[in-house]
Amino acid sequence: MFSKACEYGIKAAIFIAINSYENRRVSPKAIAQEINSPQAFTAKILQELVRNNIVNSVKGAYGGFEIEQTNIKNIKLSQIVKAIDGDKIYNGCGLGLEKCDETHPCPVHDKFKDIRDNLKYMLEHTSLDELAMSIQAGESFFKT
Amino acid sequence: MFSKACEYGIKAAIFIAINSYENRRVSPKAIAQEINSPQAFTAKILQELVRNNIVNSVKGAYGGFEIEQTNIKNIKLSQIVKAIDGDKIYNGCGLGLEKCDETHPCPVHDKFKDIRDNLKYMLEHTSLDELAMSIQAGESFFKT
DNA sequence: TTTATTTCGGATAATTTTATCCTATTTATA
DNA sequence: TATAAATAGGATAAAATTATCCGAAATAAA
Ligand code: FES
Ligand code: FES
């Protein structure tokens, strides 16, 4: 469904959000440990999130990654997925046609579109904030 | 969503179904041309479908791939997807946890599970027959 | 039985994704 | 200003996916 990079990116963003609520910046090392991901690869993904203005990075001593507290509620899963995996998952054809087109649909278009639209809606209506809360409440987990 | 291999596999199966209704066997070459896929790679995927008893192969002159007419209605998309991509798409965790587990869920579990279950339901209730019909009726297409 | 046809299957290559390593750059503080 | 701490980013490497090639095996028909 999502690429590994995207899975890491989502988890990393949640972890950064949690720490930003506590006014703490976090390092790629701390993130990778917490979410159980390869550190250097995770760092690359963080760069991508920074480029997309989803997280903020502060270089130098006492630096790290953070998200503006007031933004955490506004950031939606869809932004992260789009930043890392692009929007093929929202617009792409289920059978790989170059373009998903109502007027020239693939055999599964009608059925696939429903699923895809549900997914899109879900991602667009799920905020980083609520995911962070569920982790903090101990209701969900980053690793097995 | 699906791998390229799976996309080709689904399209190939539909094309074989159509031809089987007309009592014609088809070759990897004909399939690849029709569904716009690399021939040799498509042949590999066909082997996988044969191993999973989804399509039947007949070697030698006048051979080719076919599906028993009476089976076409019974074959569901889910069988093809499972044969090629496995069942990670039905059971796998959206954030890559080793195992999707209600009692130890990842942050997106609740929301992801709904989507995933919808997809599973759709795949399990979509038959090769109906997809073949929509192609034959000119209502859907294999290529752009 | 020979021949032409066709799938099967192993080996290999190309591409993409995932992952690692090392150095440059930035920045707060001493 | 010097130093230590941190992210940025380029160069590779490893692994997985996608794709190609070719000979072996099977089969129908001449
Ligand atoms: S054309 Fe294939 S999903 Fe829309
Ligand atoms: S645990 Fe992640 S989707 Fe169920």
User: A40: domain CATH number?
Assistant: 1.10.10.10
Q: Is residue B142 part of a domain?
A: no
Q: Is residue A142 part of a domain?
A: no
Q: Is residue A141 part of a domain?
A: no
Q: Is residue B141 part of a domain?
A: no
Cα A8 to Cα A32: distance, rounded to the nearest angstrom: 9
Q: Is residue B22 part of a domain?
A: yes
Ligand sitting nearest the alpha carbon of A96: 1
pTM reported for the whole predicted model: 0.95
Residue B113's nearest CA partner among B86, B96, B91, B88 is B91
How high is the pLDDT of residue B57? 97
Taking CA atoms only, the protein residue closest to ligand 2 atom 2 is B93
Question: pLDDT category, B26, cuts 50, 70, 90?
Answer: very high
* Tokens describing residue B74: 């019974």
Residue-number span of the structural domain to which B17 is assigned = 4-136
How high is the pLDDT of residue A43? 98
Q: Is residue A116 part of a domain?
A: yes
Are B91 and B100 in contact, with CB atoms under 8 Å apart?
yes
Residue nearest to nucleotide C7 (CA to C1'): B59
Contacts of B95 in chain A (CB under 8 A): 2, 7, 10-11, 142
Per DSSP, which regions of chain A are E strands? 56-58, 64-66
Q: Is residue B81 part of a domain?
A: yes
In chain A, how many domains are there? Answer: 1
pLDDT per position in chain A (144 positions), as tens? 999 999 999 999 999 999 999 999 999 999 999 999 999 999 999 999 999 999 999 999 999 999 999 999 999 999 999 999 999 999 999 999 999 999 999 999 999 999 999 999 999 999 999 999 999 999 999 999
Q: Quote the minimal CA–CA distance from B27 to chain A in Å.
A: 21
Written as one string, the DSSP assignment of chain B is ---HHHHHHHHHHHHHHHHHHTT--B-HHHHHHHHT--HHHHHHHHHHHHHTTSSEEE-STT-EEE--HHHHTT-BHHHHHHHHHTTHHHHS-TT--SS--TTS--TTHHHHHHHHHHHHHHHHT-BHHHHHHHHHTTSS-S--
At residue A71, φ and ψ (nearest 5 deg) are: -90, -20
Q: In 3-state terms, what secondary structure has residue A101?
A: coil
Cα A35 to Cα A2: distance, rounded to the nearest angstrom: 16
Cβ of B143 near strand D (distance < 7 A): no
Q: Is residue A144 part of a domain?
A: no
